[in-house]
Amino acid sequence: MSQGFRGTVTDFPNFNASSDAETLYNAMKGFGSDKEAILDLITSRSNAQRQEIRSAYKSLYGKDLIEDLKYELTGKFERLIVSLMRLPAYHDAKEIKDAIKGGGTDEKCLIEILASRTNEQIHSLVAAYKDAYGREIEEDIIGDTSGHFKKMLVVLLQGTRDDDNVVHTDLVEEDAQLLYAAGEEQWGTDEAIFIMVLGNRSVTHLQLVFDEYQKIAEKSIEDSIKSELSGDFERLMLAVVQCIRSRPMFFAKHLYKSMKGLGTADNTLIRIMISRSEIDMLDIRECFRLRYEKSLYTMIQVPSSMLKPCIAGEFFPEAAQIAYKMWEISAMTKVQLRGTIVPYADFDPASDAQDLRKAMKGFGTDEDTIINIIARRSNAQRQDIRQAFKSLLGRDLMADLKSELSKNLCRLIMGLMMTPAEFDAKMMKKAMEVSETHCSCF
């Protein structure tokens, strides 16, 4: 089910393709190029507008804008800008082509793209690859991969997954049992069953299958995949499951992995920021904040400003900083935010406070009740509950929750219960603690 636009890059108001084409032409004239002007203009236009600029550029100057940008720019900056100028399907096609050319294969890139794209995006990718390179993408991937990994990639390339609203109610339990019988219940694994079910059923259907599987196997489908499969095939199937559960969370995890540790996976960072900027970056940002207790802003900005001086050479590559600038600029454009949490009807803070207290009394904690109440109230209503909890019971709700909940759930619930200002203050404090820790290396 579509939630509407959840991206961060929208159409630029008062857009004039010819004027923008002229600005870019002037930025590349003469000795050197005005990278700042190029960056500011391209990152603040939507992809559709960039295509109009490209057409206007050719009409005005008889030259291809992308070829001129390639000639004028270098390194990761060139990769970022040129990638932004391509249509989404052609960008994916270029990433796939780069992943399989040469002596090795970038399996992580293949997994990220093919596990996460919709049927429509897959069909556009296949057509774009054929148009750009005169070859069939399926043949090229078959020639560069092997085994069950190759078979699952081919299935995904068909783009024939059932539509999201298709649920075969009579097959949910049967599919869960099939997966269990293909792995946990027998010696060895029937990989073909995993490929058939996970490669073809709809997102909604599979979410129900995963719940049923948990009841049958008494473990998650992810845990079974980890124990039954291996190598690139295991990583691909885990990516498919993660995307079925939540695409935004899948990309939030990949963004985090691309930036943690010493160095940055530039291509992954750029690819995700570009491919999701007009689809679901707002949701990715929120998933990132909830999972890692820091904002995407903090994760990208802190290493560049605080950690780089502590390391010989460039700790946080130029491309990551540029990708952040794209994020920062696009986040300033006017986006109609469509929040997923609205004030709860028939709200009674005193009743909610009493229910939360009951959920934390006695032996054990009723975490489901706590989640159901807090996740369904707006932030303003949660503050009313905090006040009612203190007035009625003389206790600090935040302190009680902190002492009763397990680590990961506690992080999520505490983040939801804070006011936006409290949450920002907490993030700022964490950022400064990181700064102090790394500056001790001087």
- What's residue 314's pLDDT? 34
Instruction: Find how far residue 236's CA is from the centre of its chain.
Output: 16
Residue 116, in any domain of the structure = yes
Count: domains in the chain: 5
Do 417 and 367 belong together in one domain?
yes
Residue 73 sits in a domain of what CATH number?
A: 1.10.220.10
Give yes or no: residues 116 and 183 share one domain.
no
pLDDT tens by residue, 140-159: 999 999 999 999 999 999 99
Contact 312, 292 (CB under 8 A): no
Burial label, 99 (beta-carbon count in 10 A; 0-12, 13-18, 19+) = buried
| Distance in angstroms (rounded) separating the CA atoms of residues 201 and 213 | 15
Is residue 337 one of the residues assigned to a domain? Answer: no
Nearest to 386 by CA among 424, 418, 345: 418
The residue among 157, 189, 205 that closes a domain is 157
In a domain, 50, yes or no: yes
Examine the domain organization and report whether 118 and 55 are in the same domain. Answer: no
Determine the average pLDDT of the residues in 293-305.
65
Residue 413, H or E segment:
helix 407-417
Of 108, 134, 157, the one marking the end of a domain is 157
Helix (H) or strand (E) holding 92: helix 88-100
Q: Which domain holds residue 136?
A: 88-157
The pLDDT tens digits for 69-128 are: 999 998 888 888 999 999 999 999 999 999 998 778 899 999 999 999 999 999 999 999
- Tens of pLDDT, residue by residue over 192-222, are 999 999 999 999 999 999 999 999 999 999 9
320 and 254 in one domain? Answer: yes
Give pTM, 2 decimals: 0.71
